[in-house]
Structures are given as structure tokens and as C-alpha cells.
Amino acid sequence: MNFTKAHWLTFATVPIAPSKKPVNYWITSPVFPLWMLSKNRYAGLLNTVKFLCKAREVFMTPTRIKIGFVPSLRGGWGPVSDWCARMREEGIRALQQIEGLELVFPRPHPEDPSAIVPESGYIPDGVVCNLDHAEAVAEYFFREKVDGIVIGALNFGDERSASKIAELLKVPVMLYATREPPVPEGPSLARISDSYCGTLSIAAGLYRRKLPFHFAGILLADEPAFRHEAETFLRAVAVVKSLKNARIGQIGLRPSGFETVAFDEKSMIQKFGQNVIYLDLADLVLRARDYFDEDPRLAEIAQRTRQSAAQITVAEEWIQKAARLELAIREFWQRARLSAMAMSCWSSIQRMYGISVCAIFGKLTGDGLLTACEADVVGALSMLTQRAASLHQAVPHFIDWTIQHRDHPNRFLAWHCGNAPACLAADPSRTALRSRQDMLGVLPPDPCDDQAGLYQFQLRPGPVTLCRLAEYDGQWKMLIASGEIIPSDETLTGTWAWVQVRDHSLLYRTLVEEGFIHHASLIHGNQRDSLLLACKFLDIRPVIIE
């Protein structure tokens, strides 16, 4: 069950009974008893709450990426030819049909065909022929906050103006050449479009300016190949957008001895403009304990937990305590406006609060609040990368590279303690919420069991992509590996899948020799091409295992 807009409005606006803290303590929190405020302060806080609800609504909605289309034309040869006009219209129509893509493009002024109006994107004939056009279109695209641009050479194109737009915006670029039209009757060199030649000049202009771009090919916009290239580009742009200026939450510290999940915050700032927002684990626990018992949000979360698995063998006390902690985490996410987060999950939380949190992580990730285990901040970035590449249509699972299969050498166990979203289960009727001390579900629930709170199920079969970012000495790289989940009749602990790859020996050797740690993000589907292209735009070295 995913949260709807109504759920989030309930979470943010239902007045709750008095907190154990004074009013001024919760003034900085995004959710608190609104009835305790004066009329003016209530109105101000309500606006804040509405803003946070809108942010949640946007995050939970399938993402849309804004792309600007640059119809590049070499002018000075009289009116725009019917062929070039057709290439422009077909390019616009094809891009508008791609799911998740919001298109903006220049167009002629409805009353003055010669007018150039940057605020509205008006230029003559809606085609870019010179620097004046380029500056106007760049300003229009900047106002529209485009995330990337597609340059199509309608004929020879104009290298300076096309390159200028890319230079001014500094966003990912896709370039394509259009095919020649049919040969006309009579003697001819059959050189009508000349896009084949002119695209080389545009590409050289981009290269000269050191602007990374994706060349899609020599295409007509109504061809399936064009759609494939544009969709790959769109997903790569989504990754770039998600990583740039992301806010990554960190709750608590890494486990003792886990140097492996150390990260360089300075490098994250310099490379991506990211910020790590830290919350002390003790403060989170204090907030969880402070909610009034009758807070309706706690009942909502607890009920969703009861419905999240077919079999529950943990005590009701765990469900109630987990609801408090989950609500506190959700508040932190909302207040800090996070993109992803990583949290300490052992052993401090067990000593401080008396529960395990794996299933909470699964619920959060399933709702789009991506949560990595063991305070692995770079692991959270890897999850964010894959979530973006899916255009928010899939959720990842934060896994361990665990063991090689004993009988099938090209299979490995993708596993973690019990943190996968329940929506990834192969068989919803075989999902369980267990204790680490009772993964068979045969013992009576223990209200004091600090090992309770782990999902148990096998992930659904099908093609998957594995991703892991890594940074050493300021240099970033990304592992991109493809595999397939193979169904199994086994019953294993935690949330898990046997993943078959083409060459496990090569994969494992690469992990070892490239310094990739034992954590990765796994998502259903083939993201190879989009992640590879995102690496190009972000200057990340791809490490690809086919």
C-alpha cells in the first residue's frame, strides 16, 4: 500500500494531543499541535505544513524531467523548407509522447513572425539560426528550468547558435542528425538536408567547449530508435538532476569497525553540490518517545505495518514502538527535505530503543524515502541513482554481496537482514515480519526482543541492475552490473534473491580490485545504458560488468 496525497495531508495537518515538550520546542518541527498556536502563528505554520505536503506529493508522483528542444537550422536560404518544418514538428511530437518528459521549445510569435521574445520563447519560425536566437532561447529555457536539451539538425544546422545554448545552460545535451529526404526527380546531387554534414560542425562546437553530449545517431523522429535514444537520455538526465544538490540524511554513526562505509563529505560537496544533513540517533529516539499515545499518525503507521506482511510473529509492542520511530524518521525527512538517507541500524538502536529497524527501512524505501543501512551514505547515493533512472517507477533494494552459490558458480546471494520493500516480494502470501532470533516463526512473540523487526521474503524474479558508487581521492566511479534473479524453493532469512550473472568470477574480481565494498543497490530492469550515459554527464568513471 503506497501513501496517497490524502495520507500525507493527514500526517501533516491532523492536530494531535499535547506533546510532552513546551510549545516553543516544536516550533522548529514540521509537524506539531497546530491548535496550540495563535491565529497568526497557526496560519504561518499551516503554510509551512502545506509546503511540506506539496514537497511530499511531488516526490511520490512519478517524476517528470523538463527537456528543451533546439531545432537547429542554417538560414539565409529563403523560407524554411517543407522538409525542415516537418523535421521540427516530428521532433516535437515524438518527444512529447515520451512518458516522464515535459517538453519546451521555441515557437514563432502568433502576431509578429519576426519577433524575438525571450520571456516566451518566441523566435522567427521557431527555429534557431543565429546567436540572437540562441540567447533568447537560452534565456527562455533558463526561466523554464530545463534539465537537459535535445539538439536536432533540421538541415545543415547552425553550429554557433546550437553550441551557445548548450554553453549558457550547462545541462546534459542530446544531439541527433536527421536523415536525407527522398531523392527528387531529375538530375541532382541528392544533397537536400545536409544534416549529415552539419551535425559534425555542431558536435565539434560542443567538443570545443568541453561540453559532454550524447550523439543519438542519424534518425527520423518517428523511428523506434529515436524513442529509445531519447528515453535513455531522459533517464540519464534524471540521474544527473537527482544527484546534483541532493540532501542526504545521516542518522547516527556507522557501526564500530565499519571503515568500509566511510565517506568524504568534502568530495560530495565539490562534485555534486550535495549536503549531508546529520541527526543524532539519541535525538531521534527522544522524539520517538515524545509522541502522545493518541496521536492518530501512530495508529495509521501501525496499521500499515500490520498489513505489510502475510505473517507477523513479532509482538504488538514492537509494532507500537516501531510506529513511533518511523514517524520520527518521516518527520526528519520532511523537515530536512531529503533526497535519500542512511541510518545506523545496529547495535546502538537496539540498546537505546529496544528494537531492530530493518522492516522500517523497507517501508520507508517502498514509499520513496530511500533508506540505506549501516549509515552507508554513499550507498544511499547509489539507491538515489537507481530510483532516478527508473523515473520513480521502481524502488531499489539495498543489498549485501553475500555468498557465491555452492552449486551454480555464476550466481550470488543478494541479501540483507530484512530491509527490502514488501512490494518487491516474489509471493506476497509468503512475506513475514520476524525476529532475528526466530526466523522460522515458531516461538511466541517476546515484547522485550530487541532483535525483532525484520522482513523475510524472496525478491521477485527477473532482470536486475546492480549499482554502487565509490570515491577515492576525489575520483568517483560507478559499478554497473547486469543480472537476473532466479527463483528458488529455499527458505532463507531476511530479504534475498539469487542473482545470476554472465561471469561471476569477473564480477567478483572487479569488486575486489576496484575497491567496491560489500554494499550495493539492486533494482528490477535494465539500467545499463542510462547509468552509463549519466556517468558521462557527471564525469564519473563507469565500471561495467555485462
Burial class (CB in 10 A: 0-12, 13-18, 19+), 351: exposed
Question: H or E segment at 516?
Answer: none
From first to last of its 546 residues, the chain has per-residue pLDDT tens of: 343 333 333 333 333 333 444 333 332 333 333 333 333 433 443 443 343 344 344 445 668 999 999 999 998 766 789 999 999 999 999 999 999 999 999 999 999 999 999 999 999 999 999 999 999 999 999 999 999 999 999 999 999 999 999 999 999 999 999 999 887 666 556 677 899 999 999 999 999 999 999 999 999 999 999 999 999 999 999 999 999 999 999 999 999 889 999 999 999 999 999 999 999 999 999 999 999 999 999 999 999 999 999 999 999 999 999 999 999 999 999 999 999 999 999 999 999 999 999 999 999 999 999 999 999 999 999 999 999 999 999 999 999 999 999 999 999 999 999 999 999 999 999 999 999 999 999 999 999 999 999 999 999 999 999 999 999 999 999 999 999 999 999 999 999 999 999 999 999 999 999 999 999 999 999 999 999 999 999 999 999 998
Q: Whats the size of the chain, residue-wise?
A: 546
Q: What is the pLDDT of residue 27?
A: 29
With H, G, I as helix, E, B as strand and everything else as coil, classify residue 343: strand
Three cell numbers at 30?
Answer: 514540521
Fold of 247-545: L-fucose Isomerase; Chain A, domain 2 (3.40.275)
| Helical ranges in 371-434 per DSSP H | 377-389
Three cell numbers at 35?
Answer: 491548535
For residue 254, give the DSSP letter.
Answer: P
Identify whether the C-beta of residue 202 lies closer than 8 Å to the C-beta of residue 153.
yes
CA dist., res. 186 & res. 250, Å (int):
71
Q: How far is CA 304 from CA 57, 325, 416, in A?
A: 19, 14, 22
Q: What is the pLDDT of residue 189?
A: 61
Sequence letter at residue 357? V
CA dist., res. 23 & res. 277, Å (int):
24
Q: What is the pLDDT of residue 12?
A: 35
In which residue ranges of the chain is CATH 3.40.50.1070 found? Answer: 65-243
What φ, ψ does residue 145 adopt, rounded to 5°?
60, 55
CA dist., res. 384 & res. 396, Å (int):
9
CA dist., res. 221 & res. 174, Å (int):
13
Fold of 65-243: Rossmann fold (3.40.50)
Q: What is the pLDDT of residue 182?
A: 83
In which residue ranges of the chain is CATH 3.40.275.10 found? Answer: 247-545
